[in-house]
Structure 1
Amino acid sequence: MSAATKLHKTSWCALRQLQQYRTKATLSGSSASIAKRNDLFNQEQRRQRDAVGRIDKIEVRYLGLPEDVTLVMNSNISTPYNCAQHLSEGHCKRSALALIDGSVPWDMHRPLQESCTLQLLNFHVSEPHPVNKAFWRTCSFMLGAALNRAFKPEAGLQLHSFPGPNIKSGSFVHDIVLQTQNWQPTKEEMRAISAEMVKLAAQDLRIERLDVQQDLAQEMFKDSKYKSEQLPSIAQQTQGRVTLYRLGDHIDISRGPMVGSTSFLGKCTISAAHKVAEEGAAGAFYRIQGVALPSGFQLNHVAFGVLEERSKKPYHPPRPKTKGKDKRHSDPRSTSSS
């Protein structure tokens, strides 16, 4: 073997080792950020539960099948899902969202604060708009988790935000930034992201909500450039509070509400990725779009194909400015239609 060949081989091995080290370092840093974010979420969740103190009883008047009934529950502890557990297993499985006092959409796993009326909503109710919006919003949230799972570290994926649900648009959406300005996804890549969505649905992950102070949210997302930029504007609109949601180990910002579990996602296709703008010298801003049906809904292949084609059309939601930033750095909640 010549000296030149040996040098080339040595240099190639060193390059491979360096690439592997960088990949491991990136994975380690990303995993550490996710773990810390979840630790802070768990700590605050426990703190809020411990702060309840004296447990007051409330009366929850359930309105619906098989009959209206009054339940005595615990203030700031009992959730609509706990109420459903007093009714039947079917109520637990079918109920995607709650409606409080006839007008306030409420997460299934969010504690009730005072006496109220309660309706449990599924996708077959006579007025499905609130639960459909919650489903669409949840699909965007799940898409963020799926994208995190699907992309390799070297892609430089950063989650930006997801606009509020607009069912008439024909697609749910998540905005991201990648360290490339010319990504044109193949059909195989889009199928891979769709498959991650289906995996999340199969895991039946509970979707948790937590309201926190801005300073804690800033600590949780200090390693996320875009979330950090969005938080001051969000907190300004909500008296210093920020609403977070979690499924598995994925945590993001959203005003909610969302459906109670990933299992409510049925047939799903991630159909399009549109480049929206360049971001810096090497990166670009992309909008990922998809369409889905709630679990249990049946639609023939041709009809669903029509929905898939419609969902590919570029979606242009209103994107107001965040303080000191351009329109690409919009607050994900300020673009929400709910």
Structure 2
Amino acid sequence: MNANREVALTLPDGSVRKFDGPVTGMTLAQDIGPGLAKAAIVIVVNGEQWDLSREITEDAEVSIITKRDEEALEIIRHDAAHILAEAVKELYPDTQVTIGPAIENGFYYDFAREEPFTPDDLEKIEKRMKEIVARDEEIIRTEMPRDEAVEFFRNMGEEYKAEIIASIPSNEPITLYKQGDFIDLCRGPHLPSTKYLGGDTFKLMNVAGAYWRGDSENEMLQRVYGTAWRDKKELKAYLHRLEEAEKRDHRKLGKELNLFHFQEEAAGMPFWHPNGWTIYTQIEGYMRRKQRAHGYQEINTPKLVDRKLWEDSGHWEKFREHMYTTDSEERTFALKPMNCPCHVQVFNQGLVSYRDLPMRLAEFGSCHRYEPSGALHGLMRVRSFVQDDAHIFCEKDKITEETETFCNMLLEIYKDFGFEEVKVKFSDRPETRAGSDEVWDEAEKCLIDAVEHVGLEYTLNPGEGAFYGPKLEFVLTDAIGRDWQCGTLQVDFVLPERLDANYIGADNNKHRPVMLHRAILGSFERFIGILIENHAGRFPMWLAPTQVVVTGITSDQDDYVKEVYEKLKAAGLRADFDLRNEKINYKIREHSHAKVPAIFVAGGREAENNTITVRRLGSKNQETLDLTDAINKLVIESTDPDLR
């Protein structure tokens, strides 16, 4: 083309910059201003990210990405992976590099090396990475024909890279990036040079095993994980969150607080201890009252159901590999992995009139799903769980009304559990799904209209809908900023059709109901795990297994301690007493470690005056109150939020 042809670049604000001939992203940034030139890391050309050094030869819409932009994180992490690989090759030249992508919160690189990496090795590698950053090595993009690139990497002894390149169609050019003496296969884009990463923005975390290309038939590689951020402050904040998360780990706290345990004889299925079951039943009672107040009828359906129902509903084809089955009397039965087909069976009993709608059927449904043992994770990923499941059967024109009612109920419940921040995601049709495109078009429009009517802000979660309908996902943010997807609302036109659900309309004809699948907590097990970590084991008074412990300073107060304990029990509080011959500070420390919200301490003066000294968990202060007043305060505080 004519090198002198004018190139016009349109910026996000609509302004246009013109150049006499091809222009790089860096030149554009310099033309806009020195501040942007210093901050720029990548240019976006007609929606595609390019290196700043690439020449733009045609008119285009462009924007500049700086380190402060959210899009910068993936670029930074990808560069960190390349610098990791370069450091490993310098320190351990016989190691082969394979694949190294950016991932959530960081990056990893898989290496083929006979000797295992040790913690000392990680320290050496991280130190060398910082040296590479300090060298300010220019990152240079180049292209090479596929077959030439295969031979190039084979000659380097990089058989894994050669195998990857050989699997790429022969007519596609291969993009390589070079920094210093290190060269790697990559689509890019990358930072202009290694110094742009910064030496205090990343940290290597750990080493794990990984099969080549994720296939257990292939050789085992060593995966080095790291985290990388835009600046030192973000890195420090992330590492602090990890420390907090470790302290809050529900598995560790579950053991310390004697809440539950797991064992191999029932892998992925929790054994609830008295303390944990107390929390569980408190939550169940609260949810039961909430659902009744919002017009739900509670039902209970079988756990073991004939295969035919799962085939009719479509779940057999979709979920068979996750279902536990058993044979009896020449029939195959499956433990239910979800409740919805059984709820349709309840709806189908008898003649349902439009006057009976909406029909809201709720169940604390016990479900079982096979999860690979490697995927199990305490209460967060289990094989046996109970859902706070419900299905609303309604007419199509009631979808918006029911969505609004449900969303208000859900937000109210989350607030009672201490979650003020809730994000909403709209998940549309997945690639594998039941129902025609026309049915999905209608279902998606109904749900979008309902969400917009309610006024909820949402983000799109493409392709993540259920196989029978689009859904809303409700994401909670916990005390240390982590997100947890819990509640869902799904619009389903498919299952009522497949299972022949009908109601008699005002015209005396049969009609299909719309089926709204909804859950708020998701599963009790996972939600309790989230609560444990959110509160770091310090449950609010209404959920705490033991709400108050009474103890005396000396044995002289034993009778008074027992009297106080009996009055606490009579008031409906979950109380205990401690008459051990131990120093009072020791007993207070031990009960505080057990996360008991309140400790009642009785000395000689309290016994004489019918008062009690109250110490609260997490506070060094204490107050002496009339015993009746102290008990009444705890009663109010310990009452479930919906009963206050």
Q: In which range does the TM-score fall when normalised by the shorter chain?
A: 0.5 to 0.7
Residues in 2 aligned to 1:217 and 1:122: alpha-carbon distance in whole angstroms: 32
Q: Which residue of 2 aligns with 1:194?
A: 126
CA RMSD of aligned residues (A): 2.9
In the TM superposition, residue 246 of structure 1 has moved relative to its aligned partner by: 1.1
Q: Which residue of 1 aligns with 2:111?
A: 176
Whose relative contact order is higher, 1 or 2, with alpha carbons under 8 Å and at least 6 apart? 1
Q: Which residue of 2 aligns with 1:80?
A: 25
In the TM superposition, residue 263 of structure 1 has moved relative to its aligned partner by: 1.9
**C-alpha distance after superposition, 1:286-321 (max 9, x if no partner):** 111101122x452474642435898xxxxx9xxxxx
Q: Which residue of 2 aligns with 1:269?
A: 203
Q: 1:284 to 1:172 in 2, by over 3 A?
A: same
Q: 1:70 to 1:202 in 2, by over 3 A?
A: same
Q: Equivalences for 1:26-65 in 2 at 5 Å?
A: 54-61=2-9, 63=11
Residues in 1 aligned to 2:173 and 2:225: alpha-carbon distance in whole angstroms: 29
Q: 1:214 to 1:301 in 2, by over 3 A?
A: closer
Q: Which residue of 2 aligns with 1:160?
A: 98
**C-alpha distance after superposition, 1:137-173 (max 9, x if no partner):** 222112111111222x4xx31111223x332xx3301
Counterpart of 2:241 (choices 306, 309, 324) is 306
Contact 2:73 2:229 in 1 (8 A): no
Q: 1:191 to 1:111 in 2, by over 3 A?
A: same
Contact 1:97 1:106 in 2 (8 A): yes
Counterpart secondary structure, 2:128: helix
Contact 1:162 1:173 in 2 (8 A): yes
Q: Which residue of 2 aligns with 1:71?
A: 18
Q: 1:300 to 1:160 in 2, by over 3 A?
A: closer
Q: 1:54 to 1:307 in 2, by over 3 A?
A: farther
Residues in 1 aligned to 2:78 and 2:221: alpha-carbon distance in whole angstroms: 20
Q: Equivalences for 1:91-240 in 2 at 5 Å?
A: 91-101=36-46, 103-125=47-69, 128-129=70-71, 131-151=72-92, 153=93, 156-163=94-101, 165-167=102-104, 170-180=105-115, 183-186=116-119, 188-223=120-155, 224-236=158-170, 239-240=171-172
Whichever residue aligns with residue 103 of structure 2, its letter is: N
Counterpart secondary structure, 1:162: coil
Q: 1:307 to 1:140 in 2, by over 3 A?
A: farther
Contact 1:198 1:268 in 2 (8 A): no
Counterpart secondary structure, 2:167: helix
Q: 1:189 to 1:308 in 2, by over 3 A?
A: farther
Residues in 2 aligned to 1:307 and 1:115: alpha-carbon distance in whole angstroms: 46
Counterpart secondary structure, 1:246: strand
Residues in 2 aligned to 1:106 and 1:235: alpha-carbon distance in whole angstroms: 22
Counterpart secondary structure, 1:84: helix
Contact 2:76 2:229 in 1 (8 A): no
Contact 1:178 1:284 in 2 (8 A): no
Contact 2:206 2:224 in 1 (8 A): yes
Matched, 1:285 2:199: no
**C-alpha distance after superposition, 1:255-295 (max 9, x if no partner):** 1222222222132111111122599xxx851111101122x
Whichever residue aligns with residue 196 of structure 2, its letter is: F
Residues in 2 aligned to 1:255 and 1:308: alpha-carbon distance in whole angstroms: 35
Query: What is the TM-score of this pair, normalised by structure 1?
Result: 0.62
The percent identity for this pair of structures is 22
Q: Which residue of 1 aligns with 2:184?
A: 252
Q: 1:305 to 1:149 in 2, by over 3 A?
A: farther
Q: Which residue of 2 aligns with 1:41?
A: none
Counterpart secondary structure, 2:192: coil
In the TM superposition, residue 87 of structure 1 has moved relative to its aligned partner by: 2.9
Contact 1:244 1:254 in 2 (8 A): yes
Q: 1:308 to 1:197 in 2, by over 3 A?
A: farther
In the TM superposition, residue 120 of structure 1 has moved relative to its aligned partner by: 1.1
Which has more radius of gyration?
2
Structure 2 residues not aligned, in runs of 5+: 246-374, 376-644
Q: 1:110 to 1:307 in 2, by over 3 A?
A: farther
> How many residues matched?
237
Residues in 2 aligned to 1:258 and 1:286: alpha-carbon distance in whole angstroms: 24
Counterpart secondary structure, 2:124: helix
Contact 1:272 1:288 in 2 (8 A): yes
In the TM superposition, residue 214 of structure 1 has moved relative to its aligned partner by: 0.9
Residues in 2 aligned to 1:222 and 1:309: alpha-carbon distance in whole angstroms: 46
In the TM superposition, residue 63 of structure 1 has moved relative to its aligned partner by: 2.2
Whichever residue aligns with residue 132 of structure 1, its letter is: L
In the TM superposition, residue 69 of structure 1 has moved relative to its aligned partner by: 4.4
Counterpart secondary structure, 1:96: strand
Q: 1:60 to 1:136 in 2, by over 3 A?
A: farther
Query: What is the TM-score of this pair, normalised by structure 2?
Result: 0.34
Residues in 1 aligned to 2:117 and 2:174: alpha-carbon distance in whole angstroms: 35
In the TM superposition, residue 96 of structure 1 has moved relative to its aligned partner by: 0.9
Residues in 2 aligned to 1:308 and 1:244: alpha-carbon distance in whole angstroms: 38
Runs of 4 or more consecutive aligned structure 1 residues displaced over 6 Å after TM superposition? none
Q: 1:185 to 1:58 in 2, by over 3 A?
A: farther
In the TM superposition, residue 218 of structure 1 has moved relative to its aligned partner by: 2.1
Counterpart secondary structure, 1:149: helix
